A and B are shown apart, each in its own frame.
Chain A
Amino acid sequence: MSRYVSYRDFDWLLLGFVLLICGMGVWEIRSATMHTKFAGAHVRQVYWIVGGVGLMFLISLVNYQALLDRVYWFYIAAVTSLVAVLVFGTKALGAKRWIKMPGGNHFQPSEWVKLILILAIAKYFADMRQRELTWPDFFKAGAIVGVPMLLVLKQPDLGTALTYLPIAAMGLFLGGLQWKQGVAVFLVAVAGIGVVFYVPQVHILKGYQKQRLTSYQDPDADPQGAGYQVKQSMIAVGSGGLWGGKGSQTHGAFLPVPQTDFIFAAFSEEHGFVGALAVLLLYFIVLMRLTQNAQTAPDRPGTFLVMGVVAVLSFHILVNVGMVVGFMPVTGIPLPLMSYGGSSVLFMFLALGMVMNVRMRRFVN
């Protein structure tokens, strides 16, 4: 087995597109926070990106096979950290999501749990011995994702918990999900959602969560409450027009958190349909390039790993942009690569580091 690994096989093109998206994010963060108390956030974002790129190179050096071999330990550590958050976590805005680290930094374990779940799912399906998925496989894979998901739901952080779902879904789909199973899952999911929302005796979601999830359908019903953000976001996007506008929604602080969750709305307002579509195109190129890398992966776990990243990234884009244009409820999911925030940036570059890792080893063996 050759150990030949070179940065010549590093996906520089992918990195280029990724950095282009990051650059647009930094640009928009600067514009949106210029006259607010968050002014200067774009500089910090650049630091996070530089740090992220560094981490990406580091992680690409460690063979992903070695990571997969130790995934049991990672998984145990992930679940332990989520339990620790529930026990020792810092309460902010009514939810325990953060652990205070020495040195004043806060650490949000639910982000890197995503990475471990990608690894765990890749490992599980790579070790599967048959082409078609059996129900026991289905439930085992479901449990791998389900346990941390419930822990995160308990924080409560509905948005992040939902981002674990596509990892499982992608694993099941590529792992040989059969038609019958797919239909069954779909029906159960629809019934489950119905029960959660419309049977008042079921208390899985809290009242405000339900309200937040449904208010996007009729933002005018409660213009100052949960629907307010959706409404302001739609106004921001719509007023951008074809070529972009003055950005009064962003600069007049009508748009909530324009540097994080609603950065795409801020960008769309200032750069119009043309600018927004260009960004979507960049994301699409990145996703297609990632899928291509998955196809050329040297082995099954490599493919699963890369597709796990694709699943998480796609899901984030779908939910975030969907929220910004009024198709999706407000769940507090940032737009990867563009939104301001260290955890999100570091997660993306770590994930990309693993993709690079797989790509650099495509000619191995």
Chain B
Amino acid sequence: MFGREEKVPALRLTAAQYIILAIFLVLAYGLWRLQVMQSDYYSLAAEKNRIRNVPVLAPRGKILDREGRIIVDNYPSFSALLMRDSSRDLAADADLIAQGLHLDAEEVRTRIKRAAWMPQYQPIFLKEDITPDELQFIEAHRNELPELDTIMAHRRLYPRNGFMAHLIGYVGEVNEDMLNQPQFELYNPGDVVGISGVERQYNTLLMGTNGSRQALVDSHGREVGRLGETEAIPGKQLKLTVDLDLQIAAEEALAGKNGAVVAMDPHTGEILAMVSGPTFDPNDFAVKVSRDEWNKLLADPEKPLLNKAIQAQLAPGSTFKIIMSVAGWQEGIAQTLHVNCNGGAEFYGRRFGCWLKGGHGPVTLEKAIYASCDVFFYTLAEKLGIQKIAKYATDLGLGQKTGIDLPNEVSGVMPSEEWKIRNFKQKWFAGETISVGIGQGAVAITPVQLLRAFSAISMGGRMVVPHVINPVDVPSGFVEAARYTEVKNVSIDPEGWNFITDAMSRVLLPEGTAPSAHVPGIDIAGKTGSAQVVSLALRAKAKNDDEFAQNGWFVGFTPRRNPDIVVCVLFQGGEHGKLAARLATQVIKAYVEKQRRTPQKMVEKPKTGTVDIGGLWTEPDSESGKETLAGGRFVVDLAKKRPVLATAAPGMR
């Protein structure tokens, strides 16, 4: 009888017990395998899990002017981010977050949704470089919005309104192209490096070395402790040769205009000021530049991203006449050349006009320089021929890079017979030489080239390499690469040198081409230039006259020989050199005024009244070419208000 009281077979119960035992043995083996056999492997994995190497970013070196005044600084910048702790409904908080951070709530929600597939420990970046108001909001809502957090990074603080933007450059994340270049090959994607200007040229010095921190983190990537830290080595401070006061004067002179201003110490090649206009604000790139904004900058016909001081290749116009004068003197032609200008002359069967329709009458070299007579230089060019012109111009550095320590300098063009054959497979036409004589035709130079050539002429042939950094401040590798101290001597007959610079000093006098730029009490020598952008015939056809307005040039220096400063101004669309001259003299005036009021040149410093100052200086003797000692007494009125000198670049705290 089989019934309820019939026992379950003991065999089956025992079998069940053995099955359970087997299960437990398998599980115990599982534990043994992990905890005893592979314990080391998993311990290591656990360590790897919780220790993360967090880079400690080295702050970039500051950039200072020659007197140690701050031009580029760093500032702590906070980014708002969302930690994705599962305990919070992020989408529900989106409205409050969006309101506090001045974002669009929908966009916040979209970003949260888009981040859903990412690993939990990766936070969602909401906004970079938040304002103090927004930071305050986050701090005040720590309890209500625990998922909202901030992260701090040092960002570059550049001067306001694009002040000095082209010289300084800007930084950005290193891109694919740059990583392929030897200069950047050691960097990793995401590293912030200099993209242009000094920031790029001296990136290695400015950047420093990142440290690293071994942080203990949880699965959300939050730091819960730290093990060790390798300190970051901050980037080196970089002192530029630029004088902030002079830079301000140059910026003010070129404000709102299209062109470039460069000032240099002709003894050393130290760049004292460099402006290119129009400018851009690198602070806009320091965070992230929007594609639209970037495209707008690229498409702008005035090319705000170009540093025109080293990247504009244009005809030098009448400023080239000084190079012509040197060539003509050295060949023994110019000093004896007499030309009668009646508003134009015929060469090789074609009439070449002088800019002064009525003509200059009888012209010698001196008048040809200060009155800028075209006919004189047409004649001189015809007599010299293109090969000689090209030789002297090339000796003075035209059509070549100057070697300035800034990236992407361009070389320009100094035409010659070889150049024509090489590039056009054509013979040089003698008629072309005539245009070259007044700096038109195929001649194309950069402002810094012209500056260097004039600097050499003003120094009796001493060619320096322009640079923006004091070579004693940088490691030797940089010095060799940049050739800062390299000096080349171009032989110029001292008599010719004196003659030409004397003639140049009359340019700003009533008989010259730019009397309106005259500054009383300052001895300025210079040369104006107006260069055609297109031929006059073509320009007459154009509906919009301004589009092809001539470029105004002026290169000037003070005093007329062995000058302290040389300034080159390119005023694109400025029509006439005298307008450029006015900009240049503003800069020269600012320089001279600063020099005259620099206190260390005084014996003592009484508060008011007048001071007698005795001075000695050397002056090259025009007869012998040797330097002679000269002396004099000056009375300085201290009651006069000193110009206020800058303490830092605009926008620096």
Contacts and interface: CB of A to CB of B under 8 A. Distances in A.
B294 interface: no
A37 B88 CA distance: 11
B10 A273 contact: no
B639 interface: no
B22 to A, nearest CB: 10
A185 B27 CA distance: 25
Contacts of B28: 277, 280
A238 B4 contact: no
B31 A277 contact: yes
A239 B46 contact: yes
B481 interface: no
B34 A249 contact: no
Contact of A252 (B26, B27, B42, B218): B218
A253 B12 contact: no
B35 A273 contact: yes
B131 interface: no
Contacts of B33: 325
Contacts of A252: 49-50, 216-219, 224
Nearest to B35: A273
A185 to B, nearest CB: 15
A322 B30 contact: yes
Contact of A253 (B10, B32, B218): B218
A248 B16 contact: no
Interface string B11-44: 0110111001101101110111111101101110
A173 interface: yes
B145 to A, nearest CB: 15
A236 B43 contact: no
Interface in B200-241: 216-220, 224
A240 interface: yes
Query: How many A residues touch the partner, as a band?
Result: 35 or more
Most buried by A among B8, B26, B47: B8
Interface in A222-243: 224, 232, 234-242
A337 interface: no
A95 B507 CA distance: 91
B115 to A, nearest CB: 13
A307 interface: yes
B49 A254 contact: yes
Contact of B45 (A174, A239, A245): A239
Query: How many B residues touch the partner, as a band?
Result: 35 or more
Contacts of B8: 174, 294, 300, 303-304, 307
B41 A238 contact: yes
B300 interface: no
Majority secondary structure of chain A interface residues (helix, strand, loop or mixed) = helix
Nearest to A320: B27
A55 interface: no
A232 B121 CA distance: 14
A294 B20 CA distance: 15
A245 B46 CA distance: 11
Contacts of A327: 26-27, 30
A238 B39 contact: yes
A318 interface: yes
Contacts of B36: 241-242, 273
Given A280-B31, A300-B8, A310 B16 contact: yes
Nearest to A283: B24
Given A131-B2, A174-B8, A303-B7, A235 B219 contact: no
Interface in B35-65: 35-36, 38-39, 41-43, 45-47, 49-50
Contacts of A277: 28, 31
Nearest to A299: B4
Contacts of B9: 174
Interface of B: 2, 4-10, 12-13, 15-17, 20-21, 23-24, 26-28, 30-36, 38-39, 41-43, 45-47, 49-50, 87, 119, 216-220, 224
9 contacts: A174-B13, A238-B34, A239-B42, A241-B35, A241-B43, A248-B216, A251-B218, A273-B32, A307-B8
